[in-house]
Amino acid sequence: MAQDEKNHVKDKQLMSKMLYQMVHEHKTVDINGRERQVTGGVSQEEIEFIKSLIIERKCRTCMETGVAYGISTVAICEALSCLGSGCRHYGIDPCQYSEFNGAALAALKECGLDRFFEHLDGPSHEMLPKLLDRNVKLDLAFIDGWHTFDYTLLDVFYADKMLRPGGILLIHDMDLPSKRKVWGFLKTHRRYKRIEYMADKSKFGYLINVFKGLFQAKRSVVKKAILGLIGIDRLLVLEKVENWEPNYNYFKNF
């Protein structure tokens, strides 16, 4: 069996059928049963990491901005299903019907995971204050909505208000300068500590991963390792240390 084929067999064993279809075959089905091509979303490595983080840390209440076809949404709800009843995942997306024709909702239903999920149909700057108003407390927040600095900052601002100390904040697409600027804000204006995402963070480790990815013919592994080599992980993983905000007259450039 060719190496590429062997990898696909291994991936199939590791992932649920739904996630495998979305991530590797780039297809899913919308609420009208029409096939849709999946563009974008978290990678297999990110899925595995996010799922194990939720399970290990028992993150029973989660929230994400940016649902799209629902790769991250299905992954999060799969992890919640391992933690038993009473878990909840809130997903915010203004385009779930208009652009994706309910594809994420259809995928969750197909997997029997819809009982964990609540869709908030609107932009995050309107929906997050509603969650805050409902006194929702979060164990994990995944930020992957509108990627500009201002919207990401607002997502993080509200997520921080709902995250309990010890909770996890994930920010996707850190290769974008807008996202890294928000990380600068967090470093100077809140108390978070970074959790290393890749198991091996040394430059040598990244280099090994480049070769591993090339050998396994996995472009996503190669890309992530190269980004790691130059100091950028696509997924930023943070743990909230404590509820803390600077004084009203504090200012620091970031």
Ligand X SMILES: C[S@@+](CC[C@H](N)C(=O)[O-])C[C@H]1O[C@@H](n2cnc3c(N)ncnc32)[C@H](O)[C@@H]1O
- Binding footprint of ligand X on the chain (CB under 6 A): 40-42, 65-72, 92-95, 99, 123-124, 144-146, 151
Q: Where are the beta strands (DSSP E) in 27-77?
A: 27-29, 35-37, 61-65
Give 146 or 185: the residue with its C-beta nearer to ligand X. 146
CB of 6 to ligand X, least distance (A): 26
CB of 72 to ligand X, least distance (A): 3
Q: What is the DSSP letter of 45?
A: H
Give 94 or 167: the residue with its C-beta nearer to ligand X. 94
**Could you tell me if 61 and 136 are in contact, meaning their C-beta atoms sit under 8 angstroms apart?**
yes
Q: Burial letters for 57-93: b for 16+ Cβ neighbours within 10 Å, e otherwise? A: eebbbbbbbbbbbbbbbbbbbbbbeeeeeebbbbbbb
Give 77 or 206: the residue with its C-beta nearer to ligand X. 77
Q: Burial letters for 158-169: b for 16+ Cβ neighbours within 10 Å, e otherwise? A: bbbbbbeeebbb
CB of 82 to ligand X, least distance (A): 19
CB of 17 to ligand X, least distance (A): 17
CB of 50 to ligand X, least distance (A): 9
Closest by CA position to 221, among listed 234, 231, 230, 203: 234
CB of 250 to ligand X, least distance (A): 28
Give 94 or 228: the residue with its C-beta nearer to ligand X. 94
Largest CA distance in the chain: 65
Closest by CA position to 168, among listed 179, 177, 160, 176: 160
Give 71 or 87: the residue with its C-beta nearer to ligand X. 71
**Could you tell me if 171 and 91 are in contact, meaning their C-beta atoms sit under 8 angstroms apart?**
no
Give 120 or 238: the residue with its C-beta nearer to ligand X. 120
